[in-house]
Amino acid sequence: MKILAFANQKGGVGKTTSAANVGALLAAAGQHVLLLDLDPQASLTQALGIDAQGKSIADVMGGANRGRLQIADIARRVSKGLDIAPSDIELANCELGLVQRLGREAVLKTALINVRNYDVVIVDCPPSLGLMTINAMIAADGVIVPTLPAASDLRGVRLFMDSLDRIRDDGLNPALKLLGVLFVQYDPRLTAHAQALDSVKGAGLEVLGMIPRSVKVQESGAARQPLTIYDPQGKPAKAYTSVTRKVMTWLKRNPR
């Protein structure tokens, strides 16, 4: 089983949409996928039309004390080959409690140790560098960094890359790999977007893909369906398909 995190300390950059679509495409390709919603806002959970019903990742993570449930107890079926470990607002209280707990940075890693019935776990991280995101980075084998192609967002990417380096250098997860930066709402006709792409490439970072701007992205969210189901022939869905092929290649080259 491989664990991939979609993370960026900045909000509104397409983490949830990207996690949902790559997860759905991996499942369609025959992988058994667990989406894990680590955001107290529960955007991924809500986007897929799931109600945690009092059994969420907060009950697994716990707080100052150990959680009362295992991931297997909360996992819900979304579609064939695709499950979700849902989130709810209780995760915010959980994060506050974790501050008091020994080994607080590795709670998620411990919770995933006995999860064996999935090929891939995809973690949708909150828009912060708090304990939940740190837990995801320590548990993950690889990380994908979605971003908007704007100068302010690229500053956030640079700060996030510094955080990744610290996690590796401090020995918290020295094997953590960066799969690449994923541009969302990209428009090649805009000079600023092209400059943002050049800036990332110039910094030596891998560009995993460019998801074009489209109203279908918002429409699919309202319909609570991945783009690949809502508008499978659209340009964004095809771009996510290309990204997912790269992810599958990475998975094959990096067996657990």
- The C-alpha angle with vertex 203 and arms to 202 and 206, in degrees rounded to 5, equals 90
- The C-alpha angle with vertex 133 and arms to 131 and 134, in degrees rounded to 5, equals 60
Tell me, what's the pLDDT at 224? 80
What are φ and ψ of residue 211, in 5° steps? -90, 115
Tell me, what's the pLDDT at 216? 83
CB 160 within 8 A of CB 9: yes
Half-sphere exposure of 168 (CA within 13 A, CB side): 14
The Cα 59–Cα 51 span in angstroms is 14
- Where do the H-state alpha helices sit in the chain? 15-28, 43-47, 57-61, 71-74, 90-98, 107-112, 131-139, 151-169, 191-202, 215-222, 227-230, 235-253
CB 226 within 8 A of CB 24: yes
Q: What is the CATH number of the domain that holds 89?
A: 3.40.50.300
Tell me, what's the pLDDT at 227? 82
The Cα 73–Cα 249 span in angstroms is 31
Domain, as residue range, for 152: 2-253
Structural domains counted in the chain:
1
CA 43 to chain centroid, in Å, comes to: 11
CB 138 within 8 A of CB 105: yes
CA 225 to chain centroid, in Å, comes to: 17
Tell me, what's the pLDDT at 256? 63
What are φ and ψ of residue 110, in 5° steps? -65, -40
Q: Report the predicted TM-score, pTM, of the whole model to 2 decimal places.
A: 0.94
Tell me the per-residue pLDDT of 204-247, one tens digit each, with 9 for 90 and over: 999 999 999 888 888 887 788 888 788 888 899 999 999 999 99
Tell me, what's the pLDDT at 109? 96
The Cα 117–Cα 178 span in angstroms is 25
Segments of the chain with pLDDT less than 70: 256
